[in-house]
A = this chain, B = another copy of it.
C-alpha cells in the first residue's frame, strides 16, 4: 500500500490523495460502505461498483469470524473471492463489536474472552489473533486490535486503556512482521489513536501512533455519543500530529456534515453505518437535506427520488413509489434507499475531492454544511 498526497487545500487542512493497493487505487477523501457480514445489506456487488461507485468497502472481522467462519473464507481464497468484490477491502479488528455485541466479554492484558451472540460459544481475541484472522480474511487494509472506550469515559480508565491499546499495537506489529499475506497481495496495518475526549491523552496517543511509521493511521474512540465539538476538537488535534504523508482514517464517522467538517481538518477516509442503516428506516440524505420518506407528505409526490442524485434509482423511482414500498415493508424499499444514500455519500466525497483540487473546497463546504444539516 502506498499513499500519494496530490494536493492540500490552501484555505483549510483538506487533502486530496491516492491510496494505491494491490486491488486498485482509491481516491481520497473517500467514504467506505460497511459490508458487515460480507454484504453491504441489500446491495449487489455490481450495484456497489457501478451505481454507488464504492472504491473500497469495509468488512467486520467479528461478524465474519463467527459467520461464515474462517474455514469458509479461506476455502474461497479470501473475502474478495468469497463475496465477488474485486476492489479494495478494509477490515476492522473485531474489537469494537466484541465490546458492543458479544453476550459477555472479559478484557485482560492478554486479550478479550467473549461469548458469541449466535450460539453462546466462547472465543478469545488477542492482538496476535486479530492479525491472524485478518490475514485469513485477506483485506487490503487491516486494523490494529484496540480497546474502543465508551462515552463518557473516566479519565483514568481512558488513560489505562490507551496505554494497553499502545502495548497491543506493538504486539500487532510484531505479529504482522512475523506472518505473510495468504493470497498473494499485500496487507497494510493501520494503528488506532485512542484517548477518549481528553486532549492530553489524544496528544500522547497520536504521538505514539505517529512514531510507529505505519502505512496509514486511524482515529478511533470517536462517534460513540460525544458532542460534535468534542468530535471536531479531538479530530483536529490528532490530525495536526499524525504524519501528513500517510492517510488518516476517522472511524465510524458520520453524518454528511461531520464528514465535510472532518475533511476540512485533514481526514482522508471514513466509514459509517449511518447511510445504510438509516436507509432501512426510510431516512434519505439528499442534496437538499434529510428526508423521512415514511412521512405522508411524500405519498403523492411523483417527482424523482433525488433530481440531483447520481444513482439510477434517483431518476427511475419517485418519492411516492419509495413511500409506498417502505409503508408496505417491501425489500425493494431498503434496496432503493440504501443505493441512494450510499451513492449520495460517495458523490459527496467525490465532489469534495474535486473542490479541494480546484481550490474551492472551503467556500463550498461552508455552504454545504448549512444545506445538508436541514430536514425537509
Q: A39-B332, A84-B317 are in contact. Are A300 and B67 (CB under 8 A)?
A: no
Q: A67-B328, A327-B67 are in contact. Are A318 and B39 (CB under 8 A)?
A: no
Residues of chain B with a CB closer than 8 A to A4's CB: none
Residues of chain B with a CB closer than 8 A to A84's CB: 316-318, 321
| Interface presence of A104 (CB below 8 A) | no
| Interface presence of A294 (CB below 8 A) | no
Number of copies of this chain in the oligomer?
A: 2
Interface pair A332/B41, CB less than 8 Å apart:
yes
| Interface presence of A312 (CB below 8 A) | yes
Bound CA span A330–B76, Å: 19
Q: A299-B72, A300-B72, A335-B331 are in contact. Are A45 and B316 (CB under 8 A)?
A: yes
| Interface presence of A368 (CB below 8 A) | no
Interface pair B43/A312, CB less than 8 Å apart:
no
CB distance from A116 to the nearest CB of B (A): 13
User: Which chain A residues (44-97) contact chain B, with CB distance < 8 Å?
Assistant: 44-46, 67-68, 71-72, 75-77, 81-84
CB distance from A342 to the nearest CB of B (A): 14
Residues of chain B with a CB closer than 8 A to A37's CB: 324-325, 328, 330
Bound CA span A369–B14, Å: 64
Residues of chain B with a CB closer than 8 A to A45's CB: 316
Q: Which of A46, A81, A84 has the most CB of B within 10 A?
A: A84
Bound CA span A37–B333, Å: 12
Residues of chain B with a CB closer than 8 A to A323's CB: 68
| Interface presence of A42 (CB below 8 A) | yes
Interface pair A320/B72, CB less than 8 Å apart:
yes
Residues of chain B with a CB closer than 8 A to A330's CB: 37, 39, 41
CB distance from A35 to the nearest CB of B (A): 10
Bound CA span A71–B324, Å: 12
Residues of chain B with a CB closer than 8 A to A81's CB: 302
Bound CA span A311–B228, Å: 46
Residues of chain B with a CB closer than 8 A to A76's CB: 302, 318, 320-321
Interface pair B332/A82, CB less than 8 Å apart:
no
Interface pair B300/A82, CB less than 8 Å apart:
no
Q: A41-B330, A317-B84 are in contact. Are A300 and B335 (CB under 8 A)?
A: no
Give 5 nearest A-B pairs by CB, closest first: A68-B324, A42-B331, A39-B332, A84-B316, A37-B328
Known contacts A44-B313, A67-B327, A77-B302, then 7 further A-B pairs from the complex at CB < 8 Å, ordered by chain A residue: A41-B331, A41-B332, A42-B332, A45-B316, A72-B324, A84-B321, A331-B335
Q: Report A's interface with B, CB cutoff 8 A.
A: 37-39, 41-46, 67-68, 71-72, 75-77, 81-84, 299-300, 302, 312-313, 316-318, 320-321, 323-325, 327-328, 330-332, 334-336
12 examples of A-B residue contacts, CB within 8 angstroms: A37-B324, A38-B321, A39-B325, A44-B336, A68-B328, A75-B300, A76-B320, A81-B302, A82-B321, A83-B321, A331-B335, A335-B335
